[in-house]
């Protein structure tokens, strides 16, 4: 088309259409994310309720599809990709939320509604087992006609088992629509179905946005924990792991120093305490108190529940010549160890 033809065509566009396109352009440029929603089958009253629920979070704008297409192409920035979705009863939705938040919001706002004759079942329709609350009458035959196992019982009509009366994609007959309406079964969801949305020049389909937020959060947390563990195990310092790596290295260095008895100011107290514990454990194994300094007499080995039995005073002695000889020999041995006891005394300052 030549410039002259385009100018002539524009000149013939009614003023109200140019103004409508300008308003649609302004609407599309006002939000971080703009999408196309399907409005098919939504009654006017419920649509108004949905618009009120969206107030402050998202805005809905409806116009002729041809004018909306022209506005989207004029704005550009990826919004022209939405023109492929401009068919049927649709509208524009704008939000400053991210596309995932918008999708979750629209799905949460959907409500159940009765289904009419000639409509397609969105999913499997089941009439549940139990008392229908309907008095005996022709309705029992209507239930049986649509495929429900029903009979009169205890003064009302009962469905004997869960009965599938339509599969997903089946066209709902007038008889079935009447039965479902009588039972108050609303198998249809009414709400704004997001066909596509553009944010930062990227086009998102509903399949891209239909995620379990809680599961996604758990996956991210698990991935972060695994990455942190990998960094620590590989001793790879990062801003989030440096503190832990330093603490781990300090603990390992301290353990090595204690095991190797490396005398440093930081380990001196622990080394002395360990040496003292070893000394007391050794002293607890020596039965001869004369061979020990006074402060190490009658000590128990640390970290043990065994009780040292004092057998010297409790043991019974028999007047036996052989035992007397053994006692004399023990006395001689005690005399021989006087020098050793003196040596231990010097070691501990006595």
- What is the distance between the alpha carbons of residues 231 and 240, in angstroms, rounded to a whole number? 9
Torsion from C-alpha of 28, 33, 35, 37, nearest 10 degrees: -110
- Residue 133's Cβ-count burial label (10 Å; 0-12, 13-18, 19+) is exposed
For the cut 90, the answer to whether the pLDDT of residue 197 exceeds it is yes
- What is the distance between the alpha carbons of residues 143 and 153, in angstroms, rounded to a whole number? 14
- What is the distance between the alpha carbons of residues 280 and 276, in angstroms, rounded to a whole number? 6
For the cut 90, the answer to whether the pLDDT of residue 90 exceeds it is yes
Count of alpha carbons within 13 angstroms of residue 90, beta-carbon side = 23
What is the tens place of the pLDDT at every residue in 266-322?
Answer: 888 888 888 888 877 877 777 776 666 776 666 665 554 443 344 344 334 444 444
For the cut 80, the answer to whether the pLDDT of residue 230 exceeds it is yes
What is the tens place of the pLDDT at every residue in 31-89?
Answer: 999 999 999 878 787 788 888 888 888 999 999 999 999 999 999 999 999 999 999 99
pLDDT of residue 180: 92
Highest mean pLDDT among 2-11, 162-171, 303-312: 162-171
For tokens 């805005």, name the residue: 59
Which CATH number, 3.40.430.10, 3.90.105.20, 3.30.70.3000, 3.40.50.1820, labels domain 125-185? 3.90.105.20
Evaluate whether 299 touches 280 at the Cβ level (below 8 Å). Answer: yes
Q: What is the mean pLDDT of the chain?
A: 80
Neighbouring C-beta atoms of residue 127, cutoff 10 Å = 24
CATH class of the 3-110+191-210 domain in this structure: alpha beta
pLDDT of residue 274: 85
- What is the distance between the alpha carbons of residues 158 and 156, in angstroms, rounded to a whole number? 6
- In three state form, how does the secondary structure of 83-96 look? HHHCCCCEEEEEEC
Q: Where are the domains of the chain?
A: 3-110+191-210, 125-185, 216-259, 268-347
Evaluate whether 340 touches 291 at the Cβ level (below 8 Å). Answer: yes
- What's the pTM value of the predicted model, to 2 decimals? 0.52
pLDDT of residue 8: 47
For tokens 């006595």, name the residue: 350
Query: What does each C-alpha distance from 34 to 22, 92, 96 come to in angstroms?
Result: 16, 7, 9
Evaluate whether 166 touches 172 at the Cβ level (below 8 Å). Answer: yes
């Amino acid at each position: 088309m030549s410039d002259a033809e385009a100018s002539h065509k524009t000149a013939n566009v009614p003023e109200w259409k140019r103004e409508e396109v300008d308003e649609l352009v302004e609407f599309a440029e006002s939000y971080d994310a703009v999408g196309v929603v399907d409005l098919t089958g939504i009654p006017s009253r419920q649509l108004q309720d949905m618009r009120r629920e969206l107030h402050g979070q998202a805005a809905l704008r409806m116009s002729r599809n041809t004018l909306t297409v022209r506005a989207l192409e004029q704005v550009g920035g990826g919004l022209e990709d939405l023109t492929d979705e401009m068919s049927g009863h649709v509208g524009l939705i704008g939000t400053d939320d991210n596309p995932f938040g918008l999708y979750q919001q629209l799905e949460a706002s959907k409500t159940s509604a009765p289904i009419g004759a000639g409509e397609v079942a969105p999913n499997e329709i089941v009439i549940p087992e139990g008392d229908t609350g309907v008095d005996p009458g022709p309705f029992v035959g209507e239930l049986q006609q649509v495929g429900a196992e029903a009979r009169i019982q205890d003064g009302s009509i009962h469905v004997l088992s869960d009965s599938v009366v339509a599969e997903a994609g089946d066209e709902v007959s007038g008889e079935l629509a009447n039965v479902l309406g009588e039972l108050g079964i609303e198998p249809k969801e009414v709400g704004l179905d997001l066909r596509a949305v553009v944010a930062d020049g990227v086009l998102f389909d509903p399949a891209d946005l239909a995620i379990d937020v809680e599961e996604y959060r758990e996956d991210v947390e698990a991935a972060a924990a695994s990455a942190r563990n990998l960094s620590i195990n590989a001793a790879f310092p990062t801003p989030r792991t440096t503190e832990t790596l330093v603490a781990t290295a300090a603990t390992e260095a301290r353990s090595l120093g204690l095991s190797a008895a490396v005398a440093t100011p930081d380990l001196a107290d622990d080394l002395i305490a360990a040496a003292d514990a070893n000394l007391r454990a050794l002293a607890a194994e020596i039965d001869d108190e004369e061979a020990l300094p006074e402060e190490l007499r009658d000590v128990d080995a640390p970290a043990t529940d065994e009780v040292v039995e004092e057998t010297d005073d409790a043991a019974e002695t028999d007047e036996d010549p052989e035992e007397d000889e053994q006692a004399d020999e023990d006395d001689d041995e005690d005399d021989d160890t006087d020098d050793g006891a003196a040596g231990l005394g010097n070691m501990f300052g006595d």
